[in-house]
Amino acid sequence: MKNTERKSPKSLLKMTLLLLLTSSLLLSACGGGGSGSESKGNEGGTDSNEPTSITIQTLNYATEFIDNTNALWKELEKETNTKLNITWLSPSTAEEKINVMLASGDLPEVTFVESMQNPQLQKMLKQGVFWDLTPFLKDYPNLNRDELKEMWDVTKVDGKNMVIPRYYPSYGGGIFPMVRKDWLDALNLETPKTLDEFYNVLKAFKEKDPNGNGQADEIPYTANPGSLAYIYNIFNETQGSWKLQSDNTLSPIITSEESKEAMLWIKKAYEDGLFPKDFAIMKFSQVMDTMRSGKAGVGGMSMNHAWVTGKSVRDVDPKADLMPLSYLENANGVKYTPSGSPYYGVYLIPKKVPEAKVKKILEFFDYGYSKEGNEMLTYGLEGVHYTVENGKKVSTPQAAIDKTGDGNLNNMIHLVSDDMSISAVGMPDDVYNRNVEIVNERKTVKVPNPSAELYSEAYNKYYPEISKKVEDMRVMVITGKESIESYDKLIESIKNDPKMKEITDEMSKAYQEKYVK
């Protein structure tokens, strides 16, 4: 009796021990991580008939990830003669995981990084961890498409193409006012073109009962401090946090006189009750929730939200119509609209990948950026996943089965089209056509973005702290908890801060090295 009772714990213990022991043996066998410990896989490109295996790590926005049993995946492998080994990253984890991968030197053959500004990445680029692709690129016609020229240009590091950018349109993204067109119509108001007109619209939303329920329950503009950053850009007439001076140096807009005016504009609006009472403490998701509740007249969003969020508002209020503004003019008559570099995220190939395989990988991307491959990744195959009716692609039930265009493969290489930023699944034609008009109007507005793609060590080290101080102070002044004098004092101290001078010098130098030749 005793024996049988005792046996089970012993064997369990044994099992645990064995597990731990073997684990420790394995550990000593592998030894110190660092670079280059990844297995080489099969050396690509030696035999041109054999499919090349490529390991890729990239984002996936879908709820269910596809694997190599998926029809489109197979099609992609067939077209590019590859055997794909894709590690999908869920967007909730991507940033942390990418940082761990970079820091551990544990890099797949094709590594995705969301932002070129990632400080780890910047260091590694300087250290030559990744292939310089410049000499190879000319051999791949689709990578040299006209539409892609700009993205290759702006992502150069020291004049070399070290990254394969993932396309994303310049216009249509970014936070900018989205207005309830039905409220404008109800009050017979014109679409605002200037900041002053915009202010008057907000005031009318507050006072004139645009939803017609007889109560003053409207929130003219659902916003938190972070979503109003563009107001500072309108006043400063530049994108980003830096303004180009006539002597080819950059100056930070955080300390400019214009920024103070912008803050006072927001303060006045706050005091007039144009923002929610909890403006100072709202998270972005709460800002969006207020919009979706149908109580707000304006919210800051990218253009595709005309439908992504517009649809939710319509569930609550069937007349609701969300319309993005094209641009806003400041008092000097200078127009502003948000725009960015025409890519989002970059792919890199570590040096440990043999040259033959680098070419194979570029071939893979060449297919992905070809018109045919590009559309296949997003829409699937004609006749199988979609049919063309009146020039529009209509998806078939098979599209859902093979998970076409749901954030899986279409996210690996984006569709080269404005639709990326202005369209959304299920968007009605009238909303879509209006968005096309608006984005074309936005494209006529060119606002300089001198600090895009610049990197400075000092900026990375010190700027976030400085800017947080100023942003906090702005909120305090706007909500009346601090005086304008203390704001002035803070700005003065930052202007005299040697760290700020170091940042400014480095940024100016980085600008001149990149753009002034």
- Closest distance to another protein from the beta carbon of 217 (Å): 10
Residue closer to another protein (CB basis): 285 or 332: 285
Residue closer to another protein (CB basis): 88 or 265: 88
- Closest distance to another protein from the beta carbon of 227 (Å): 9
- Closest distance to another protein from the beta carbon of 469 (Å): 8
Q: Six-digit token pair at 280?
A: 């100072």
Residue closer to another protein (CB basis): 34 or 214: 34
- Closest distance to another protein from the beta carbon of 208 (Å): 21
- Closest distance to another protein from the beta carbon of 176 (Å): 10
- Amino acid symbol at 46: T
The per-residue DSSP string of 227-271 comes to GGHHHHHHHHTSSTTEEE-TTS-EEEGGGSHHHHHHHHHHHHHHH
Cβ(236)–Cβ(250) below 8 Å = no
Residue closer to another protein (CB basis): 61 or 515: 61
Longest CA–CA span in the chain (Å) reads 94
Residue closer to another protein (CB basis): 249 or 286: 286
Cβ(329)–Cβ(336) below 8 Å = yes
Residue closer to another protein (CB basis): 252 or 340: 340
Sequence-ordered alpha helix ranges (H) in 294-354 = 305-316
Q: How far apart are the C-alpha atoms of 201 and 218, rounded to whole Å? A: 13
Residue closer to another protein (CB basis): 196 or 482: 482
- Closest distance to another protein from the beta carbon of 237 (Å): 18
- Closest distance to another protein from the beta carbon of 374 (Å): 13
- Amino acid symbol at 4: T
- Closest distance to another protein from the beta carbon of 173 (Å): 3
Residue closer to another protein (CB basis): 5 or 389: 5
Q: Which residues of 363-388 are buried (b: 16+ CB within 10 A; e: fewer)?
A: bbbbbbbbeebbbbbbbbbeeebbee
Q: Six-digit token pair at 199?
A: 């202010």
Sequence-ordered alpha helix ranges (H) in 31-93 = 71-80
Residue closer to another protein (CB basis): 356 or 458: 458
SS3 state at 394: strand
- Closest distance to another protein from the beta carbon of 184 (Å): 22
Cβ(362)–Cβ(143) below 8 Å = yes
What DSSP character marks residue 189? P
| Pairs from 92-98 (Cβ < 8 Å, separation ≥ 24) | 94/59
**CA neighbor of 152 nearest in space, from 142, 163, 141, 139:** 163
